[in-house]
Amino acid sequence: MICIECGYSNIDCLYSKYKSDYIKLSVCPECNKIADKYIEYDSVILFLDILLLKRQAYKHLAYNLTEMEMEIGSSTNFHVNDNTNFKFFHTYRKLMKLIFMILSFEVYLTWANEEKLLIHSQLINLIFNQSVVYQYLFFIIKSSLENLILNLSLQLILRLGYKWGQGPQKINGNIRDKELFGYKTSVLLVTTMVSGSIRLFPILMFIWPYDNISITKPLINLIAFINIVEALRVVTSLGYVELILSLAFSIVIRNIVSKSLLVLIVRLFLDFNFTEVYYNEMYQLYSQIQTYIRWI
């Protein structure tokens, strides 16, 4: 556990429980403040503080809640070899459920927004000519690919490029060396996914509709970009310049790779001019970049 106030990384436990069910919160030996006040807070308060980008709330979510989830997952029986990737999904199964929920909303939102647009790319036109099941599968693959590539790129840049979490002092002194890789992966993953989930707020626009979606979407994406950068700054302590460049580069990689893979996947099932559709997707990406530049 860590202290959410000063970042001290060797807190043994966040509270002590006595026989009378009296709970005493641990005090950080470095700053002499409560190590993690959110232990006794309601989840609604934590959610609101995360929306407000409070530093302590994000540290509680990314570091301490992740460690508690890891301890619960590790304490349960698991019969698959420890070296397999399945152990990660088992250990952080609540995190996986959160990601699944975010993806589910994102699929619905992306699908609905595309249907509302008057002009579509050639690839989307091909998809909308197919059955509803085919469309649903396409948008599931689209959202999954985009999130996978974005998070993978960001993890590689921050951990290999900027050496986050590789200093002489561990980011969390309670984590064993063999568990540190999965823990660091989860810390960045939950930070990026939760802070980026602000992109889902346009779901409310289906209740209170806005006239111009083409303007609203770039604005929401820009807000999400700022939100992710600020959340990563709190969790990683890296500078704004490093994080802005890392996230911007990861988004470019995500868009290029995901669009290329989507065209390739759809080509396996439908007959169309691959080169023409691919260049159309790249042109759409170029137009999006120009739109964001105008917003900035």
What secondary structure does DSSP assign to 197-209, as a single string? GGGGGGGGGGTS-
Classify the phi-psi angles of 120: left when phi > 0, otherwise alpha if psi is within -120 to 50, otherwise beta. Answer: beta
Separation CA 288–CA 280 (nearest Å): 12
pLDDT digits (tens, 9 = 90+) for 110-129: 998 888 888 889 999 999 99
Instruction: Look over the chain and give the mean of its residue pLDDT values, rounded to a whole number.
Output: 87
Number of Cβ atoms within 10 Å of the Cβ of 223: 13
Number of Cβ atoms within 10 Å of the Cβ of 2: 25
91: Cβ contacts below 8 Å, ≥ 6 apart:
69, 70, 73, 74, 182
Task: Of 28-32, 212-216, 241-245, 287-291, give the range with the top mean pLDDT.
Answer: 241-245
Burial 265-283 (b: 16+ CB within 10 A, else e): ebbeeeeeeeeebbebbee
> Nearest 5°: phi and psi at 16?
-120, 135
